[in-house]
Chain A
């Protein structure tokens, strides 16, 4: 069966517009994906019919909102194949999920002289929280090096692992280059020395089949808005036995069992980590984003996106002055590149003038750019609703722009 690309495109109202007089080609999906009609309708429906605070209201609306909210938790549980829905914590996004682990697990279990391992590929949000923790605790941050293709050097990682390693926090798929890390191997090796593992799933969850039980990761962080869902919402998956040992993140409503002025006892997971009124409307709508992806099927999505990436590489490799950045064997649909003699900003602005939305710059991975000796790249990232004809437009646009400096 051929991929129903036209049908899928029809589900995304935002795609059907012109920018600067040209049809929009949206290739900034690694920054945020567009939202299907079902997600938008759910948001509208929630505020039109169901808005109420959840979990303790003694009325019909509160009951409905609570049910829908917890439905999403179960949907996320199935999506990640977590053992139980209590292992799904709603946060503001990947960044907050990682910070939650740094503030709770990190503060309790990481001490002076302990080691945390990250990789050169990390987004700033999987670097800075650990630097802050290391500074506070006198712990040591170690970094797995990469090769020029943008793949981590696994043997070097093994050398970094010691009995002092308490946590390995690595990106599942790189936002800047698309590299898919060998996370199963990393997790098993880390566990062998008694370290816990956090996977930054911001870029992987929309492209790859995820099974947290099979991976056996201790934590996984992700963002709804990179998964066709609403902005300002993320998930932290954590194994029950690990989450239960962790102190709360923030204090407030929802996260308590009983409060007296003398002492407070905390609620069970996941509520222990969800202080205050959560982002109810967005959580409810997020279910529809996951349903959308599940209905198409991750393997069909991956096959479609892989074919787009292959086609883009094929068309662009013959463009004079085209320099691909990040040529790992295993990649999600991210195409990072530069054009000989041109600054990525200039290329991005010129592509925008052609109606093509890409991202330019360091992609919040300054240490990675430094390692590659680059100031930045142009990044085109493809999603389920992108088509081959859009890839052709990109290739034509890039080729016209490259000709300015590469005659």
Chain B
């Protein structure tokens, strides 16, 4: 399995191919949302909504063989695409890897300019929640 850093570099080079064209970049992000595994309907509840996102985002996590597995969904296609990128980088890794991950691909693919500052805040809230889940699962493992 590629490292977090390697996956980030893959994403950066994929976005480099798209260049500066905002329309095709947005379209690409929306298509990426289709890669998300289907979200369990019973988890689509208020408690799983990430606060701080303009659009609705549901996120859950559990651990499999000491690794964190995330599932997420959103009511907007662009947000779904963004989550799918985060999940691609962070899914099925140890809590420690996730907690210490520096997600510089977001900055390097120019996400702020693509999605605007309000959605960037939402993205930061998503990352924070993913790390919090990792932290909680790590604490559980230590017990």
Q: Which segment, of B8-16, B22-30, B60-68, B88-96, faces chain A?
A: B22-30
Give bound CA distance, A20 to B25, whole Å.
Answer: 12
- By a CB distance below 8 angstroms, the chain A residues around B30 are 346, 404
Can you name the residue of chain A whose Cβ is closest to the Cβ of B78?
A: A346
B residues near A21, Cβ cutoff 8 Å: 20-22
* Range class of the A interface residue count: 10 to 19
> Is A109 engaged at the interface, CB distance under 8 Å to the other chain?
no
Cross-chain contact of A354 among B23, B54, B76, B115 (Cβ < 8 A): B23
3 tightest Cβ-Cβ pairs between the two chains A and B? A343-B76, A353-B22, A353-B23
CB distance A349 to B26 under 8 Å? Answer: yes
* Inter-chain contacts of B78 with A (CB < 8 A): 345-346, 349
Task: List 14 A-B residue pairs with CB atoms under 8 Å apart, sorted by A's residue number.
Answer: A20-B22, A21-B21, A345-B54, A345-B55, A345-B79, A346-B77, A350-B23, A350-B26, A350-B27, A353-B22, A353-B25, A354-B23, A361-B54, A375-B75
Check if B76 sits within 8 Å of A345, measured CB to CB.
yes
Q: Which of B20, B78, B115 has the most chain A CB within a 10 Å cutoff?
A: B78
CA distance A76 to B7 in the complex (A): 61
Within 8 A of B (CB), among A346-387: 346, 349-350, 352-354, 361, 375
Chain A: minimal CB distance from B37 (Å): 20
**List of A residues within 8 angstroms of B54 by Cβ:** 345, 361
Q: Which one of A21, A353, A375 has the greatest number of beta carbons of chain B within 10 Å?
A: A353
The answer to whether B115 and A349 touch across the interface, beta carbons within 8 angstroms, is yes
- Chain A nearest CB: distance from B125 CB in Å? 15
Q: Which of A342, A343, A354 contacts B55 (CB 8 A)?
A: A343
> Shortest Cβ distance from A354 into chain B, in angstroms?
7
CB distance from B89 to the nearest CB of A (A): 22
For B47-63 the 0/1 string (1 means CB < 8 A from A) is 00000001100000000
Residue in A closest to B54 when the chains form the complex, CB atoms: A345
Contacts of A350 in B (CB 8 A): 23, 26-27
A404 to B20, CA, bound (A): 22
Q: Which of B20, B23, B78 has the most CB of A within 10 A?
A: B23
Distance, CA A361 to CA B20, complexed state (A): 27
Do residues B75 and A353 form an inter-chain contact, with CB atoms below 8 A? Answer: no
A290 to chain B, nearest CB (A): 33
Interface residues of B in 99-124 (CB under 8 A from A): 115-116
Interface residues in A53-76 (C-beta closer than 8 Å to B): none
The answer for the CA separation of A175 and B16 in the assembled complex, in Å, is: 40
Using an 8 Å CB-CB cutoff, how does the interface string of A174-198 with B read, 1 for contact, 0 for none? 0000000000000000000000000
Residues in chain B near residue A343, CB distance under 8 A: 55, 75-77
What are the residues of chain A within 8 A of B79 when measuring CB–CB?
A: 345
Chain B residues, Cβ within 8 Å of A353: 22-23, 25-26
Question: For A354, what are the chain B residues with a Cβ–Cβ distance below 8 Å?
Answer: 23
Alpha-carbon separation in the docked complex, A342 to B79 (Å)? 12
A21 to B25, CA, bound (A): 14
Cβ contact within 8 Å between B76 and A346: yes
Bound CA span A345–B115, Å: 10
* Shortest CB distance B113–A (Å): 9
In the bound complex, what is the Cα–Cα distance between A268 and B110 (angstroms)? 56
